[in-house]
Amino acid sequence: MDETGFVMCGALVHSTDAEPLEIMQHKCIGVKEGKIVFIENEDALSEKIKEFGIPQTDITYLKKGQFLCPGFVDTHLHAPQYPNCGKGLDMGLLDWLQTYTFPTEAKFSDLKYADMVYRKAVRRVLRNGTTTGCYFATLHTDATLLLCDVINEYGQRAYVGKVNMNIGSPDFYIESSVEESLSETKRYIEEVKKRNYPHITPIVTPRFALSCCQELMSKLGDLAKAYDLPIQTHICETRDEVRIVGETFPGCESYAAVYDKAGLLTDKMVLAHGIYLSDNEIALIKARNSAISHCPNSNFSIRSGVLDLRRLEEARIKVGLGTDISGGYHPSMLNAIRTAVFVSNIHHIEAEHANYKALSVHEAFRLATLGGAKALGLDNRIGNFAVGKDFDALLIDPSADGSHVDVLPDDSFSDSVDKYLYNGDDRNILSIYVAGRKVIS
């Protein structure tokens, strides 16, 4: 595909605000300079390629059964925790952090080790169809910049955060002062801006309230405002965490109020988990237009809890899905989609009223694409197929060689899409595009 653009003809599968999953067959989608310039029926192809100056040689026709869907948006993952995927899941959150997470993250002062892990992590996440990731790195500025280099090399779109943590952490993995944490964060932000990556944005990243003093959080809030940057952290992941936050910050009426007092709770904030939010906290998060990243695999794997997603949706809070590597052991957003459905099914089974509606797999697909884009404030650029948006897309073949999906003669096209969502994996992804560039094929 050259700079004159390209066209792909076949079936498109995506989400809209009105429809959790929309199938558009016999369509042509045109891309120039990374952006979608037209979506038309196949009979308008000749006219459109002439209008946009796209050569016949740059038209690709999808095979029967194949389809394009938007790239997945992972709203919460920890790149340096990738070595721990599937390890230590017999522990609860706070013990797991001390035993597995902090010792592993401390190793990233070694840039050779960081390079090895980050290449494996980013490649694996991207290969599983995540075209946009919202990454926590470590407190090491240079290693976090290295992560940005790796992501840029592989062509993924990302928010990347240098973690801040100056209290409640082990002596071998902690920032020495508020001043050090702030100066290193500023250095990181300025260097990312200087490098001018096409698809990478720095994100302010206080690890969580128990890792940052109030002064540091407040100054990070000022920093995010000064640079107009997104923010990410954790909230209400476990009951013990909520209790200890209450004891640590007695002047705040809730966990969410701790962040709000610091000026962190904004329309650019992504809060991971939110399992144990009170009604008042939900109202506050809605008032600030902040977002929640729902990480169902992690919540099950380290037994944190079972998020009631419908409660957040009823409050009209923005929600995306996250893998939460390595609290979540799987790098694929397909796993997040499936596990989100299972979590909702549990609430449906245990609901005290018959009207509780479980999340459908189509709704979970929307959370993994358009919902994630909205949570990250990127829905004007990615999340579904619309003229003017970047072409972040996956070419899917449910019947690819070695696939776990068997499409049978009686299956409709919609059936084959559903089978992919429930049974597919990276073997079904033939090509991956970010802003029109084929990054994996």
Query: Residue 3 — very low, low, confident or very high, per pLDDT cuts 50/70/90?
Result: low
pLDDT in tens, 16-34: 999 999 999 999 999 999 9
Q: CA-CA distance, 274 to 320, in Å (whole number)?
A: 12
143, two tokens: 């290693």
Instruction: Identify the architecture of domain 72-375 in CATH.
Output: Alpha-Beta Barrel (3.20)
Looking at the DSSP bridge assignments, the partners of residue 231 are 204, 269
pLDDT greater than 70 at residue 2:
no
Query: Residue 1 — very low, low, confident or very high, per pLDDT cuts 50/70/90?
Result: very low
pLDDT greater than 50 at residue 166:
yes
Q: What pLDDT is attached to residue 197?
A: 98
pLDDT, mean of residues 46-50: 96
Q: What pLDDT is attached to residue 89?
A: 86
Q: If you average pLDDT over every residue of the chain, what do you get?
A: 96
pLDDT, mean of residues 114-140: 98
Which of 279-293, 326-340, 353-367 has the weakest average pLDDT? 353-367
State the pTM of this model.
Answer: 0.97
Q: CA-CA distance, 411 to 274, in Å (whole number)?
A: 38
CATH class of segment(s) 6-70+383-440: mainly beta
What is the layout of strands, in order, in the sheet containing 157-161? 72-78, 130-136, 157-161, 200-202
What Rg, from alpha-carbon coordinates, does the chain have?
22
User: How do strand 72-78 and strand 67-70 relate by DSSP bridges?
Assistant: unpaired
Percent of the chain with pLDDT strictly greater than 70? 99
pLDDT, mean of residues 127-132: 98
Looking at the DSSP bridge assignments, the partners of residue 84 are none
pLDDT greater than 90 at residue 91:
no
Q: CA-CA distance, 348 to 366, in Å (whole number)?
A: 20
The three-state secondary structure class of 305 is coil
6-70+383-440 and 72-375, same CATH topology = no
Q: Provide the residue ranges of all domains of the chain, joining segments of one domain with +.
A: 6-70+383-440, 72-375
pLDDT greater than 90 at residue 354:
no
Q: CA-CA distance, 210 to 137, in Å (whole number)?
A: 18
pLDDT, mean of residues 50-70: 96
Which of 46-60, 91-105, 225-239, 316-330 has the weakest average pLDDT? 91-105
pLDDT greater than 90 at residue 215:
yes
- The answer to whether 420 and 406 have CB atoms below 8 angstroms apart is no
